[in-house]
Amino acid sequence: MKTSTWFTALAVAVILAVGGCDTRPSEDDAHEMFQQLMERPDIETVQADYLALLERIRTRLVDELGIEPFIPDEEPVSGAACPGDLSEVKEAEVRFYPSAYSPDDISDADWPRAVALVTDTISKHGFGEPRTVVDREGDHEVAIYDSYGAELIFGTAENTIVGLSTGCHLSREAHQRGTPEPEEPLY
């Protein structure tokens, strides 16, 4: 191969490789993702609903299974950018609610009843069937998801925990505005 042909081929390969590495969504894709998130409730509405849902679950477990009341984790609610391509939507986030725990465990015999109780409570909020994470004597955990990617974790071993994180949702301000925040000029 001639040197000039080889350099041309190399230059084309480098251009294709570098150009092909940019996997960020285009502005049109980001706008489309924003519109998809507009079909979901805003993060503040979701937070109020999920915090109330967590309280209902914990209350039912205490009342119906007789375990000790839950002790809330003192960590505040935290948030993060949405995962994957949705991270390109600036005013969207995922929130994490601190787990609370009961100092009691749930017996192996009562575990199926406890899972049914939790599943019944959250199914009315769009959550699906529980997925087993751990299932061995004295140690059980399930994860339950909704269509937006929220994840509820329910488990028991030495104590019993219930925790929840949301899926990706727009801020209330962005949801009310109905359009992505305008880009600020770079001058």
Which of 104, 25, 160, 161 is CA-nearest to residue 152? 161
pLDDT of 70-110, one tens digit each?
Answer: 998 888 889 999 998 888 898 999 999 988 999 999 999 99
Distance separating alpha carbons of residues 133 and 141, to the nearest angstrom: 5
pLDDT, tens only, 94-104: 999 988 999 99
Q: What pLDDT is recorded for position 136?
A: 96
Domains of the chain: 33-177 (3.30.2030.20)
Q: How confident is the model at residue 31 (pLDDT cuts 50, 70, 90)?
A: confident
108: left (phi over 0), alpha (psi -120 to 50) or beta: alpha
Structure tokens at 160: 């019993």
Q: Give DSSP secondary structure letters for 7-33.
A: HHHHHHHHHHHHHHH--SPPHHHHHHH
